[in-house]
């Protein structure tokens, strides 16, 4: 029973596979059509020098897997050293470049159809209107590079860090989850940031989400809205950002869901249209960022006519992502980032600079 299974057998039970988030299309392929009796757990844990035998109970398998956080099997496609959060191009093959190009080309050419066929969500339209009214009263020229956008801000941790990084700008954090935004209280309490903007505001698309504003201390606004719809409204309003941060967006790692990734979404041209001196995207999946930069290159080549909003980022897109050094001085900007750093997971950044 210490002998490795042939590659047609999966070495991990489906229960452990799902509970520890070991995303692997290869594992799914191997499991397909294999009787449950042959999908028993039998794998070597090198750091412990033990073998979890076939038909071992779930608790035994789970404990060994949790301690080692790595699995060795006879399939070379599976990374031999990783954390429970690791995503790679081996386990999650990227779309073919020709497919990425055709997807970007289609979204560019069919953008008017997308704008006319899909209505903006009511709560996002209301939230955007209230945000514009508030920003107009604070800084009349905010549309001309006066805003740093934090897309998918989650609990607001990154938005408040950006507020300190850009004290002379307005930081707008956007997330679709009311529950996550309500948890931002732990990051804004006790702040004492001096700036010219006054109060922090909560802006949502319904009265129950319109929390009382905080005392004058921050240049951060948190908005509950759908990002794709917000991009549409801001682009139609000729908003030009100072900077745009997308920190750990949902990578939708399953190959069949690649269209849900931002660089393959119909709103990708709108995202680029908002501009900014830089667009910063972070992920623990380097391949995701490489796909993003590749799509920026394709957009720069395929964008027809004047107003090509992708070409200014072409030079830095060709440079691709880089790994971030997480030393003792490193400050995690999001809860995801802190979790990755604490577990030893490498993180990467794609910085697209306007040139």
Query: Rounded to whole angstroms, how far apart are CA atoms 331 and 156?
Result: 15
Whole-model pTM over 0.75: no
Q: What is the pLDDT of residue 231?
A: 97
* DSSP label of 264: G
CB of 90 closer than 8 Å to CB of 187: no
Using a 10 angstrom Cβ sphere, with 0-12 exposed, 13-18 middle and 19 or more buried, the burial of residue 205 is buried
The answer to whether position 270 is within a domain reads yes
The answer to whether position 11 is within a domain reads no
CA 34, 37, 39, 43 torsion-angle sign? negative
| Closest by CA position to 188, among listed 236, 153, 238 | 153
Residues 6+ apart with CB under 8 A from 35: none
Give the E-state strand segments of 208-317 in sequence order.
Answer: 220-224, 243-247, 278-283
Q: What is the pLDDT of residue 322?
A: 97
Q: What is the pLDDT of residue 205?
A: 47
Element (H, E) at 126: helix 122-138
The position carrying tokens 């119909």 is: 266
Number of domains in the chain: 1
Alpha-helix runs per DSSP H in 149-279: 157-165, 178-182, 185-188, 227-236, 268-273
The answer to whether position 74 is within a domain reads no
The answer to whether position 86 is within a domain reads no
What is the residue range of 180's domain? 97-187+216-353
Element (H, E) at 267: none
The answer to whether position 39 is within a domain reads no
Query: Rounded to whole angstroms, how far apart are CA atoms 46 and 83?
Result: 15
Tell me how far CA of residue 198 lies from CA of 27, 181, 241, in angstroms: 53, 20, 20
CB of 26 closer than 8 Å to CB of 75: yes
Query: Rounded to whole angstroms, how far apart are CA atoms 190 and 193?
Result: 10
Phi, psi of 282 (to 5 degrees): -125, 150
Using a 10 angstrom Cβ sphere, with 0-12 exposed, 13-18 middle and 19 or more buried, the burial of residue 209 is middle
Residue 113 sits in a domain whose CATH number is 3.40.50.150
Residue 191: count of CB within 10 angstroms of its CB: 15
Alpha-helix runs per DSSP H in 143-209: 157-165, 178-182, 185-188
The answer to whether position 14 is within a domain reads no
CB of 222 closer than 8 Å to CB of 173: yes
198: left (phi over 0), alpha (psi -120 to 50) or beta: left
Structure tokens at 107: 């979204």
* DSSP label of 271: H
Q: What is the pLDDT of residue 273?
A: 96
Mean pLDDT, the chain cut into blocks of 10 residues (355 residues total)? 38 37 41 44 38 44 38 37 87 95 97 93 94 92 96 93 94 89 61 40 47 52 95 96 97 95 97 96 97 98 91 96 91 94 95 96
The answer to whether position 247 is within a domain reads yes
Q: What is the pLDDT of residue 187?
A: 54
The residues that bridge with 172 in the sheet, in sequence order, are 149, 221
The answer to whether position 273 is within a domain reads yes
Query: Rounded to whole angstroms, how far apart are CA atoms 161 and 333?
Result: 7
Alpha-helix runs per DSSP H in 244-328: 268-273, 286-302, 314-319
Phi, psi of 197 (to 5 degrees): -100, -20
């Amino acid at each position: 029973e210490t002998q490795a299974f042939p590659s047609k057998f999966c070495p991990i039970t489906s229960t452990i596979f799902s509970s520890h988030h070991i995303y692997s299309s290869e594992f799914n392929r191997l499991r397909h059509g294999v009787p449950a009796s042959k999908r028993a757990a039998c794998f070597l844990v090198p750091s412990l020098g033990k073998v979890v035998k076939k038909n071992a109970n779930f608790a035994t398998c789970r404990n060994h897997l949790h301690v080692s956080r790595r699995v060795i099997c006879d399939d070379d496609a599976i990374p031999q050293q990783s954390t429970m959060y690791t995503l790679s191009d081996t386990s999650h093959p990227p779309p073919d470049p020709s497919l990425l190009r055709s997807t970007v080309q289609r979204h560019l050419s069919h953008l008017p159809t997308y704008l006319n066929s899909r209505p903006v969500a009511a709560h996002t339209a209301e939230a955007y209107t209230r945000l514009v009214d508030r920003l107009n009263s604070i800084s009349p020229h905010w549309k001309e590079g006066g805003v740093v956008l934090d897309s998918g801000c989650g609990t607001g941790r990154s938005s408040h860090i950006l507020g300190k990084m850009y004290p002379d700008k307005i930081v707008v954090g956007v997330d679709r989850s009311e529950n996550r935004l309500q948890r931002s209280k732990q990051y804004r309490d006790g702040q004492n940031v001096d700036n010219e903007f006054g109060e922090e505001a909560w802006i949502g698309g319904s009265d129950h989400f319109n929390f009382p504003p905080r005392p004058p201390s921050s240049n951060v606004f948190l908005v509950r809205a759908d990002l794709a719809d917000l991009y549409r409204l801001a682009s139609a309003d000729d908003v030009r950002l100072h900077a745009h941060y997308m920190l750990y967006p949902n990578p939708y790692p399953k190959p069949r869901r690649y269209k849900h990734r931002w660089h393959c979404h119909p709103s990708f041209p709108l995202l680029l249209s908002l501009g900014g001196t830089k667009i910063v995207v972070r992920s623990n999946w380097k391949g995701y960022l490489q796909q993003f930069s590749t799509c920026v290159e394709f957009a720069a080549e395929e964008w027809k006519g004047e107003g090509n909003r992708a070409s200014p980022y072409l030079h830095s897109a060709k440079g691709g992502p880089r790994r971030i050094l997480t030393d003792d001085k490193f400050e995690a900007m999001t809860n995801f980032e802190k979790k990755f750093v604490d577990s030893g997971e490498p993180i990467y950044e794609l910085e697209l600079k306007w040139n």
